[in-house]
Chain A
Amino acid sequence: MSEIQKNPENKTVDTRPLCLSGKGVTKVFGFGETRTVAVDHVDFAFHEGEIISIVGESGSGKTTISKMLLGLISVTEGEIQFQGKPRDISSHKKKKEYWKGIQAIFQDPFSSFNMFNKIDAVLLDCINMRGGKNLPKEEKVRLMTEACSFVNLKFAELTNKYPFELSGGQMQRLMIARIFLLKPKILLADEPTSMIDACSRATILDMLLKLRDEINMTIIFITHDIGLAYYVSDSVYIMEHGKFVESGGADEVILTPKAEYTKRLISDVPKIYEEWDLSTV
């Protein structure tokens, strides 16, 4: 990335404009004895056109933080800034506006679609959301065809079909086609490849990278697989018990980990080029 420069203290500084950032973001569930702090005063700064991975094991709070970023649940404490301004999602109208700027792909493609809606309806809804409600029919079809070809699907074969007639990989690609139509500033991908086969995984990752390259989309990639995070992302945030224990550029975090937790995570993943040390458990 040409825009990344090294500053005198030998730390990387990103000069691209901030897209989404947070200070002291906290989420507490319940109260009294059942009080749980799911996300505990985390700070982050995501830049435009960057791919950021949030890596954590189950129960680390990564799903909670993704829902807060999406504005699906409220933030208990702290502030999230969207494009340099404090995020305002106090009413349904403002939320609608915010969701034009941030969209998501979820883990399980089989539960991501309403199985009673046809594929056309899913895509048409995206066009309507972008204010294309009054476009002529041919234009709508053109847009949908374009979106489908972006993800190597043929729109003509999909019309009048239901999402559950597709394979998991195809569904996830359709999900990306939806994002392509919506063209949000930020895409939050919550374990988009964990339910699909390794062979289709490469396709999905390629398409995410293409989204970034063609539309300059910021992609927040949430995963438990540290190898995957290393492969796709520019910067990595490692999350343990609701806190970011380490963050920085992907090479920096994965190849020279400083936090104990990061070291352990990396050492617990099977390797193929180096010896996998089994004695450390």
Chain B
Amino acid sequence: MGKIMLEVNDLKTKYVTRFHEDVYAVDGVSLKIEEGKSLGIAGESGCGKSTLALSLMGYYFAPLHYMSGDIIVDGKNISGMKPDDVRRTILGNEIAYIPQAAMNALNPTQKIIRFVEDVIHAHDPKASKKDIYDLAKQRFEVLGLPPEVLQKHAVELSGGMKQRTVIAISTILSPKVLIADEPSSALDVTSQKMVIKMMRELMEKGFIRSMIFITHELPLLYNVTDDIMVMYAGQIVERGTAKEMVFDPIHPYSKGLMGAIIVPEAGTRDQKLTAIPGTPPNLKRPPAACRFADRCKYATAECKGMAPTMKEFGEGRSYRCHYSVEHLREVYADE
């Protein structure tokens, strides 16, 4: 077992709305990522996966508020730190974050090299421009980006190129954890593939030591990450390796998600897609029962009365359901 790069214990965060109502968007999430591993987080929109990404950085600002839990990056607990300290000491060299629209964050009036200088100067104010340029040039070449990009303005680059440039800049300090929140969803398929290829290279060449990849597109997760975690209504409902999760999901919700995958491959046309009726619960007042019970076709009175806990099984897999693994597998086989 490798060194633990990121460990999160029972993290709880909430949003406070304009009308002073609390929305419990991340409700007791625990996870561990080993060095050299990547973790995918999947779920419907509104399940709290983007909030989890923001919460993991330890950088809280209104309307997001920290409630409880630990975030341990390479042995260092950052959960109680002030936002300003987090920004100065953690972001960039310990944790890097790439949101979906990262490419639109580049100031069009500045050359790309200025952003690289900004990132490095934030952590090492004495670094010389020459050193920074050499480092950036070398890193860009390794990642397959033409070094001329450094002397260009953002408007001269295509969307996919901009996104890859942003990723290269945010990982220039070789962070321990990279959190990527839908980094390729706004791009066309060809650019998406290039972004994915680059993220894989970052891992292989050791520029980042672990990665959390968030998306609702399961075929993409399957191809990018080692492990997949499915999130529902602010909680994790199942975790396993990518292959196990796609071909052998246990939790009824994961089962539904995997059953809705569409890929252009032979034989997939005749599959019946599964649909999950209903809508997720309101996180202002999360139910005390299993949060999926209202939409689950296997739900019993027990499901609606008591919240299930995470249960472990197999090799490092876990799920959150009252039923046993064997029972669920049998039920799925019968259908």
Contacts and interface: CB of A to CB of B under 8 A. Distances in A.
Interface of A: 57-58, 152, 167, 169, 197-203, 205-206, 224-231, 250-251, 254-255, 264-266, 268-274, 276, 278, 281
Given A225-B262, A227-B263, A273-B263, A206 B275 contact: yes
A135 to B, nearest CB: 32
Given A206-B273, A231-B268, A199 B260 contact: yes
Interface string B178-202: 0000000000111011101100100
B266 interface: yes
Contact of A203 (B261, B267, B277): B277
Interface of B: 44-45, 188-190, 192-194, 196-197, 200, 216-220, 222-223, 246, 256-257, 259-269, 273-277, 279
Given A226-B264, A270-B219, A276-B223, A167 B189 contact: no
Given A265-B189, A268-B189, A202 B275 contact: yes
A256 to B, nearest CB: 10
Given A281-B190, A281-B193, A202 B260 contact: yes
Contacts of A224: 188-189
A205 B268 contact: no
Contacts of A251: 269
23 contacts: A58-B188, A167-B279, A197-B216, A198-B260, A199-B257, A199-B275, A202-B275, A205-B273, A206-B275, A230-B264, A231-B273, A264-B190, A269-B219, A270-B217, A270-B223, A270-B263, A271-B219, A271-B263, A272-B223, A272-B265, A278-B193, A278-B197, A278-B200
Nearest to A231: B262
Contacts of A206: 273, 275
A276 B223 CA distance: 7
Given A199-B44, A271-B223, A278-B193, A57 B188 contact: yes
Given A270-B217, A278-B196, A281-B194, A202 B264 contact: no
A226 B256 CA distance: 21
B264 A272 contact: no
Instruction: From A205, A265, A273, name the one whose CB has the most chain B CB atoms within 10 angstroms.
Output: A273
Given A206-B273, A278-B200, A201 B260 contact: yes
B219 to A, nearest CB: 4
A197 B275 contact: no
Contacts of A197: 44-45, 216
Nearest to B188: A57
Contacts of B223: 270-272, 276
A169 B277 CA distance: 10
B273 A202 contact: yes
Contacts of B256: 199
Nearest to A275: B223
